[in-house]
Amino acid sequence: MKIKSYFSRTVEDAMALASQELGPEAMLLNSRKAPLEARHLGEYEVVFANVMPAGEAPDSALEAAAPASVAARPPLGDQLSRDVADLKRELEGMRRTLTRSALAPSQWVGGSPDLSDAYAALTASEVGPELAREIVQGVEAHLVGPRPPAGRTPRHFDKAAFQRALVEELGSRFQAQPSLGRGESPPRIVALVGPPGSGKTTTLVKLAVNYGLVSRRPVLLLSMDTYRVAAAEQLRSYAAILGVGFQVLETTTALAQAIEENRGKELILIDTPGFGFGDMDSASGLAQFVSARSDIDPHLVLPASMKSTDLSSVVDSFEIFRPQRLLFTKLDETGSFGPILNEAARTGKALSFFTDGQRIPEDLEAATRNRLVELILTGSSSRARTAA
């Protein structure tokens, strides 16, 4: 048997590596956030063991450590298979205990495994440890009252009641507002802002089709992206295909004028250039204009695959636009949706829409509480799709 630690960006990456190196029998013993001094090697440290198939030579280091009676057993036949099966069961038990004690706050150890498992599931989905703890404490309070006397928390809860409480607690931590525009009266004016390549232009076209063309609302697309030669052309082509109005504007004065001249439209969607950390200064003119206009609804477009800490920095740097809503793209590129919850909970900003693929217009959906809860608990973005 071999025990090996893997450092990686996600637990899934480590599992893939371990299965490659140690074989499909590789068993996860423990996972935890990597200690600070080893963080450069990866976010997580995940420990695996491989139990050698019958007939394979045991690892010498472990053989030396094994009790004489085990080491002396004949290496072949049924006895070995039984030993391996016993060992596997033992290791699985160890893994559960270790995972719980590594991931769950100590007050749950020896308390309810259901609570520890929920905490471990949330943190595995990259929900921040503090938020995960609050959610699980909320579930406990929901099911047994605010401060259960010591030893009064049941070890196991009714499955359905537990799931309901967990969904409710998770859902109460953020807002979802899948709508476009601020006031009730048209035109609804939306600006998509965000870092380079986050999916602003693609999402804008998806919105134009789903919330404009499909309901026969007159739409206008405006591009403020004159930074790169091809940028506005990308949107111009889409506008031509869709048969909707399109203008490229160089200045905020021209943008104000275009809005004024198109008050008859129902939906005006404004595309903006991607601003990276290094060029937020060049965003200030546009940001000032957008944030000062009470009729423009800026949605901050962010890739769901971004790490929580990076997301927070990006959201903070885009605060100059005063976006009230967060729009997450590329859900299909991650299996950990905790960072979306972390950011929505941290900022109190509502989630507006999700995109989960490159197909226009299909890969867009309204953000709802149930959907994010489902994403976090299942770790999968697949959904029932309408025929293309």
Ligand X SMILES: Nc1nc2c(ncn2[C@@H]2O[C@H](COP(=O)(O)OP(=O)(O)OP(=O)(O)O)[C@@H](O)[C@H]2O)c(=O)[nH]1
* Token pair for 366: 């309204």
Regarding 284 and contact with ligand X (CB under 6 A), the answer is no
Whose Cβ is closer to ligand X: residue 14's or residue 314's? 314
Contact residue for ligand X among 116, 201, 223, 308 (CB under 6 A): 201
Site for ligand X in 346-365 (CB under 6 A): 355-358, 363
Regarding 274 and contact with ligand X (CB under 6 A), the answer is yes
Name, in order, each residue with C-beta under 8 angstroms of 313's C-beta and a sequence gap of 6 or more: 277
**What string marks each residue from 158 to 177 as x (binds ligand X by CB under 6 A) or -?**
--------------------
Q: Which does 197 bind (CB under 5 to 8 A by kind): Mg ion, ligand X, none?
A: ligand X
Site for ligand X in 219-248 (CB under 6 A): 225, 231
Whose Cβ is closer to ligand X: residue 139's or residue 239's? 239
Contact residue for ligand X among 93, 145, 183, 196 (CB under 6 A): 196
CB of 198 to ligand X, least distance (A): 4
CB of 231 to Mg ion, least distance (A): 6
**What string marks each residue from 362 to 381 as x (binds ligand X by CB under 6 A) or -?**
-x------------------
Binding segment for Mg ion (CB under 5 A), chosen from 12-20, 21-29, 78-86, 192-200, is 192-200
Binding segment for ligand X (CB under 6 A), chosen from 3-11, 150-158, 324-332, 379-387, is 324-332
Name, in order, each residue with C-beta under 8 angstroms of 251's C-beta and a sequence gap of 6 or more: none
Q: Are 226 and 252 in contact (CB under 8 A)?
A: no
Whose Cβ is closer to ligand X: residue 29's or residue 192's? 192
> What residues line the site for Mg ion (CB under 5 A)?
200-201
> What residues line the site for ligand X (CB under 6 A)?
194, 196-202, 225, 231, 274, 329-330, 332-333, 355-358, 363
